[in-house]
Structure 1
């Protein structure tokens, strides 16, 4: 059993192991129910959930396979996909829409059917920001809307995106269950003790489940592997971002040098032209074309 490097008290929910431990097991489904109610309804609307097969294949042989982090339905038959997006993906919105088609299509019935559908909710917990225009706007709720009336056209398909890096409330600022859940997701791995604001039955269950010291040897080994994969991935992303910034800076410096050298050549060409130096000579001296010099 390898435990080196695990010094946190509570599990990291951004790891595959941590996320599925908290939200993807029937034993802890009350955590998922509480989270979904706080996020989507702000009250106890969902009474129970049933976990569904998280792996789906398309209807055709060539269709792409979809594997959901958490897939469940409530007692009304409404479907919920909950995805932890650990890093920015170029087409993550497209991926969300693609994934939403599976719980929609699987509702089709054989024989006569009037196309009535149960609601589908796609929840993306994002460990990155995709909208940098507003530093405080982190909770996106998206539905099909009529652009003319600005009213919801279809209320049975909802996409919710949480830009977690933008959520910066302190413990003293947690007013609702929604705030408390986002605080837990954002800070759980760094907490050394349980915050006073998170004293209720649901969070009793969460902190008991998340305490690493209570893991079995098998769970601890699986968590270490998952945590190592997460840290390796994070290191790769951070290195790429730093390299990109460095290359961008170098490119900017080179571009600045090139623009500065060109401006100096233009000034020299103007001065030489005023002195009556021949155009072809000025061209040889500055590297500018004769057409450029004639326009000065």
Structure 2
């Protein structure tokens, strides 16, 4: 067997965000958020695209969004590369999901809690070895909860998970192991297959269940992730060399930014066809933060017109 890698956006959405994934997502969220307890009984998987309702508000692209049976929204993002200001992006998406629940005339009492679950293939927080971290609003000195603790940030740092297959102790371990290793496995481990939802996740992740178009999309995203990682490494090295020669920090950022622009151009050409000179010029004029946002949005575009609209909204 060959399995798609859940750390790739398309694969993660296919496994956890498809129409047939409700039971998989319930099991996964109970394992990660509630230590395996059956707190979530049902949920509805929603469109993860957060369209702006207010002029000037940024678009947001998430991997999975769900409404739980108790009215809580859960947004999930799988992130492979540690990009600039990623922590701020997580907080922005959580706050935006919370704020955009209300339309004109609705009451604040109608706001429902939001949990932002972020899975990273890099370390977010140094100084401790906890794989899962939960952040909520606390009073600084007494550490008491805020009156309405409606926004919770949960992080799963995959590099901190060191357990091997024979060391898995509970369903939380098994789901994290699934995310981290499925792309390298050639069979379903027996200890994992005992959980029906994980067995079903493996069936969805089996490459033979994908169409040719889905396999092509997955391959493009894998190439993009690999190229992006290489461009970051090359850009850092070129920037360090230029920075040493010129005696200034800007060299490192410039080298990385140039490599990133080149990668984005290649990926967009693969996905949408040849870019016209105007779009290329507008991409080259983006700031480093705007380029990071474009990297996150690339696979949400289905044509050049959508890309052009994105550039209009995000290059102000």
TM-score under structure 2 length normalisation: 0.70
Using the alignment, how far apart are the partners of 2:235 and 2:206 within structure 1? 33
Using the alignment, how far apart are the partners of 2:106 and 2:22 within structure 1? 35
1:139 aligns with 2:132: yes
Whether the 8 Å contact between 1:73 and 1:79 is mirrored in structure 2 is yes
**How many pairs are equivalent?**
244
Deviation at 1:248, TM superposition (A): 9.5
Deviation at 1:240, TM superposition (A): 4.0
Q: Pick closer, same or farther for the CA change 1:176–1:67 going to 2, 3 Å.
A: same
Cα deviation per residue 1:270-290 (whole Å; 9 max; x = unaligned)? Answer: xxxxxxxxxxxxxxxxxxxxx
| Aligned partner of residue 80 in structure 1, secondary structure | strand
| Aligned partner of residue 57 in structure 2, secondary structure | coil
Whether the 8 Å contact between 1:77 and 1:118 is mirrored in structure 2 is yes
* Corresponding residue number in structure 2 for 1:151: 144
Whether the 8 Å contact between 1:51 and 1:73 is mirrored in structure 2 is yes
* Corresponding residue number in structure 2 for 1:40: 33
Q: Which runs of 5+ in 2 are unaligned?
A: 247-316
Whether the 8 Å contact between 1:108 and 1:115 is mirrored in structure 2 is no
Q: Pick closer, same or farther for the CA change 1:250–1:197 going to 2, 3 Å.
A: farther
Cα deviation per residue 1:70-108 (whole Å; 9 max; x = unaligned)? Answer: 111012221000001121122112111111122212332
1:216 aligns with 2:173: no
Whether the 8 Å contact between 1:174 and 1:180 is mirrored in structure 2 is yes
* Corresponding residue number in structure 2 for 1:226: 221
Q: Which runs of 5+ in 1 are unaligned?
A: 1-7, 252-296
Whether the 8 Å contact between 2:175 and 2:198 is mirrored in structure 1 is no
Using the alignment, how far apart are the partners of 2:93 and 2:143 within structure 1? 26
- 1:1-296 alignment to 2 at 5 Å? 9-42=2-35, 43-108=37-102, 110-111=104-105, 113=107, 115-134=109-128, 136-153=129-146, 154-199=148-193, 200-240=195-235
Q: Pick closer, same or farther for the CA change 1:12–1:114 going to 2, 3 Å.
A: closer
Using the alignment, how far apart are the partners of 2:25 and 2:240 within structure 1? 39
Using the alignment, how far apart are the partners of 2:97 and 2:103 within structure 1? 13
Whether the 8 Å contact between 1:14 and 1:86 is mirrored in structure 2 is yes
Cα deviation per residue 1:145-199 (whole Å; 9 max; x = unaligned)? Answer: 1122122224321100111111111112111111111111111111122222202
Task: Give 1 or 2 for the bigger CA radius of gyration.
Answer: 1
Q: Pick closer, same or farther for the CA change 1:87–1:110 going to 2, 3 Å.
A: same
Q: Pick closer, same or farther for the CA change 1:244–1:137 going to 2, 3 Å.
A: farther
